Structure 1
């Protein structure tokens, strides 16, 4: 028997999502506009047994002097924003400020809340900041890049162990450790986390986490049987001609997201009016986009300017399939380290087939760029996005393709503060004019992989200068930045801009040190 062994760690909670736990009370609160951010109540802590609170609500709600806002304040403790009390020293360097922030953003097992939607974890972990008070899956890889630069191997090990614990507990890594995230995951970066840790601790790390890597793969590749009708899908797996298997984003529920309940209901009503789309279909597409981490972007819209045209589950994303290729290669190596030649060859072949499928379905010769693929329409989507740089990061592009891509990136994405996320401005936060730290890193490292050091260094200098400029101005590290007009703050999305901020801190430190 081998692998990571989680400590005994039981809290006795049933992992019920708040909308299921509170029912009518939850829906009434989310529709009431008491909170500007729907996530606030989803994260609230009941002050006593929820059953008693629910009974009290039904006894009182029809009374003439009843106030829902007062009821909530008397029966729940509301969450605070992370970093709200942190005082940055704007005279210090950005790097020094980040090193101070790690302790502010770190959560310890003994200090975790009880009784709410949080799923407690056995080891310390770093949260993004702001409204994001829990550990997020794909954020954490980029946060770990900075922790490595800060010499915090202890936190990297703890966070990898927490994700292994989540895989062992649920069979996958949820978006974050909240009960309302248990129906979906996020971009599968666990294999990259394990490799990052193994760079510091040796190949034995790959052997240790092999069981969790395999479970992660099984989750994303869950099939409905041996039949192979091309262009059909089951959960996150899509079957294509010639036996090719690729992945999409999905969610196991088709209801409004608890953390954005009112917004989802309102969008579904509009989509039903305009396109006669069933609410369940709208909710599924919204949730799948949330699993992608790109919530939201014109990338997922049939009409790039129309949120109600969202159709995420029809799309094969280029970035997701590059990540799955990395997972297959990591599994192949881990099995070889265990002298399991049969499984090593099995995953080598899976990776080879996926690499071929990536070339077949994602490379657009008319643009000379990697695109997402709409498997329902059997054609590329319209959205040109920075996700197309993932094949550079994972060395899946040919040398010829890389030259085209470098030129395409400079022409379409490069701005004075870094790289745009997409080429159009829609008001969605994962569109122009915003730039995001994780995508800056993917593109930067991808360019360096193909020896485009001049372009990579330009990107690095522009991004670091933008982060430094904002820190000197406000003392804040932000989740996203306006890379087109560096005098303006980023905007768009379902909530106000957040500060902290985990992945910005991580990418900044890694890029700063790589440049010097």
Structure 2
């Protein structure tokens, strides 16, 4: 049923009555009557719209019509009365993925370079000298658009060279592909909000969501841009900005390939070209002794670069800088400026930032687990990821290349990759498994002992399938309850937090915060070990949290949640991306969108019905 309305008039009346806090949304925090009468312009028929959720849906539908400059238009009441699960999922599939898609080419460059991170009047685009086609393309584009400056990265740049780019930070080019009439950028999907670039591990989880939504070409495009980054920048970057050139991300490229071929094997040539680069990344990024490979035979996160990371906002490190500012008898802002410019050097502080940069490479920025210690740790997460790399490479060689894969004059066999995985599994069990706690911990290879921080990464071995059945049983029955809250699992246990001084900042990847990648890896891990009922429960808890917040807050889908209060209202460190919009949420947040679609693909119909009713997890599951 459709109502013909004066769009702008109804829009203004609705906001005046219901948006009592003037935040350009209709939420549970507003104090309006939560009841609005629609009158059809033609028939004068009336329809009462009641409740926060339905009123916010009405606001969103009106906002879309206003943006289309429609003065008198039809509002579909079915859209307003749409069940929450169906509405959220539909908008992710039909709208949000497209809203978050970017290209670096003539059509899409402006959207990338003119964002809130761009400080100079003429933004800089960096292209690798190795990319001859890209250099030629962007040189011509620079003449035509005039709104950016092109810089060419030398083929073998140093860490010191990257530091010089902080004076003129910019975006890094990604892959181009030949279309019928022109070169075009290979698309990528950004997380959203201020994260308007291609992020490393975000892109993997986004790819999972795209595959669920049958957007296979976009998932393949993510793989193409992974390949491009490894060839031209030496690694899959934290993100494609100049100040991330010294930093990679959690290794998930092979997992993306495995997921893609489950849906469709593009071609053996395509798969061969990517498997070569997966092996290149494994050998050159992760298995170089003394860098990310340690004497134990296990790996660590270890970013290059010196001093304070460029991307943080002024004041972020005030708690760290304060004693050093006193030491050098400088005001804290002046000390920060001198340290960032490297006109003042402190060896002890530099070591702190080795760990800080490495923590950011891990994706867990920030957590007390990695503060001032990350580069000393054989972390359970990176070694779980690399175990899966080894198993994935073995699987792909065996299944698609008859057990033998040749790169130039080097021959790889599936058996040798199985042996790599077996070695890593044995080492992880020797150094990281703690029988007393029934948990995996990071191993401090400098001090030769486990680092007993109880983090959600302890479940990553379930996802990687490196646990024994007995270990999996202990993780699920003994450890998981320590992380579970109404809306999913927290980044760490509450018990880990009191071990740190009370005056340090609350870290966003620790208790009580919940993140999509932790949930998604846990779900798959539970399924791997046949804990199917528990997987249903954990999916339900997270999707309930997303659905509840979207229903109560005008469709908000944020970056993360506070699981202590089951809310998107997070005030730790960087705030929460995906919560700032007017009238209508247009993009959600990349990996939370993905977790919703992936979770729905697992959840049974009975639980989907309960989700639409917002039945609390406490009413469905015994604690």
Q: Structure 2 length normalisation: TM-score?
A: 0.62
Query: What CA distance in whole angstroms lies between the structure 2 residues aligned with 1:447 and 1:108?
Result: 36
Alignment match, 1:229: none
Higher strand share: 2
What SS does the corresponding residue of 2:314 show, helix, strand or coil? helix
Alignment match, 2:511: 432
1:364-408 CA distance string (max 9 Å, x none): 011011111111121111210110001111111111111111123
Could you tell me which of 236, 240, 244 is aligned with 1:173?
Answer: 236
Q: Are residues 1:105 and 2:88 paired? A: no
Structure 2, gaps ≥5 residues long: 1-62, 66-78, 114-122, 125-169, 177-185, 328-345, 406-410, 498-504, 580-587, 605-623
Determine if contact 1:195/1:206 at 8 Å carries over to the other structure. no
1:262-301 CA distance string (max 9 Å, x none): 3466454246589997121111111100000000011114
Query: What CA distance in whole angstroms lies between the structure 2 residues aligned with 1:96 and 1:271?
Result: 52
What SS does the corresponding residue of 1:387 show, helix, strand or coil? helix
Query: What CA distance in whole angstroms lies between the structure 2 residues aligned with 1:335 and 1:406?
Result: 32
1:207-239 CA distance string (max 9 Å, x none): 231221112102333435xxxxxxxxx121111
Could you tell me which of 278, 281, 291 is aligned with 2:361?
Answer: 291
Query: What CA distance in whole angstroms lies between the structure 2 residues aligned with 1:143 and 1:317?
Result: 24
Q: 1:458 to 1:343 in 2, by over 3 A?
A: same
Could you tell me which of 509, 512, 516 is aligned with 2:597?
Answer: 509
Could you tell me which of 298, 314, 321 is aligned with 2:383?
Answer: 321
User: What are the residue-to-residue correspondences of 1:395-410 with 2, within 5 Å?
Assistant: 395-410=465-480
Determine if contact 1:272/1:278 at 8 Å carries over to the other structure. no
Query: What CA distance in whole angstroms lies between the structure 1 residues aligned with 2:217 and 2:271?
Result: 17
Query: What CA distance in whole angstroms lies between the structure 2 residues aligned with 1:318 and 1:196?
Result: 22
Residue 170 (structure 1) shift: 1.7
What SS does the corresponding residue of 2:393 show, helix, strand or coil? helix
Q: Are residues 1:239 and 2:295 paired? A: yes
Structure 1, gaps ≥5 residues long: 1-85, 225-233, 302-309
Could you tell me which of 512, 521, 524 is aligned with 1:442?
Answer: 521
Query: What CA distance in whole angstroms lies between the structure 2 residues aligned with 1:510 and 1:126?
Result: 17
**Larger mean Cα displacement after TM superposition, 489-498 or 384-393:** 489-498
User: What are the residue-to-residue correspondences of 1:153-302 with 2, within 5 Å?
Assistant: 153-202=216-265, 204=268, 205-224=270-289, 234-240=290-296, 245-260=297-312, 262-263=314-315, 266-270=318-322, 272=324, 278-301=348-371
Alignment match, 1:455: 534
Q: Structure 1 length normalisation: TM-score?
A: 0.75
User: What are the residue-to-residue correspondences of 1:409-428 with 2, within 5 Å?
Assistant: 409-424=479-494, 427-428=506-507
Alignment match, 1:374: 444
Could you tell me which of 536, 541, 550 is aligned with 1:471?
Answer: 550
What SS does the corresponding residue of 2:597 show, helix, strand or coil? helix
Query: What CA distance in whole angstroms lies between the structure 1 residues aligned with 2:479 and 2:595?
Result: 19
Q: How many residues of Structure 1 are paired with residues of Structure 2 in the alignment?
A: 410
Q: 1:382 to 1:194 in 2, by over 3 A?
A: same
Determine if contact 2:303/2:354 at 8 Å carries over to the other structure. yes
Residue 261 (structure 1) shift: 5.6
Determine if contact 1:264/1:283 at 8 Å carries over to the other structure. no
Query: What CA distance in whole angstroms lies between the structure 2 residues aligned with 1:216 and 1:460?
Result: 33
Residue 476 (structure 1) shift: 1.3
Q: 1:139 to 1:274 in 2, by over 3 A?
A: farther
Q: 1:502 to 1:134 in 2, by over 3 A?
A: same
Q: 1:106 to 1:349 in 2, by over 3 A?
A: same
Determine if contact 2:570/2:576 at 8 Å carries over to the other structure. no
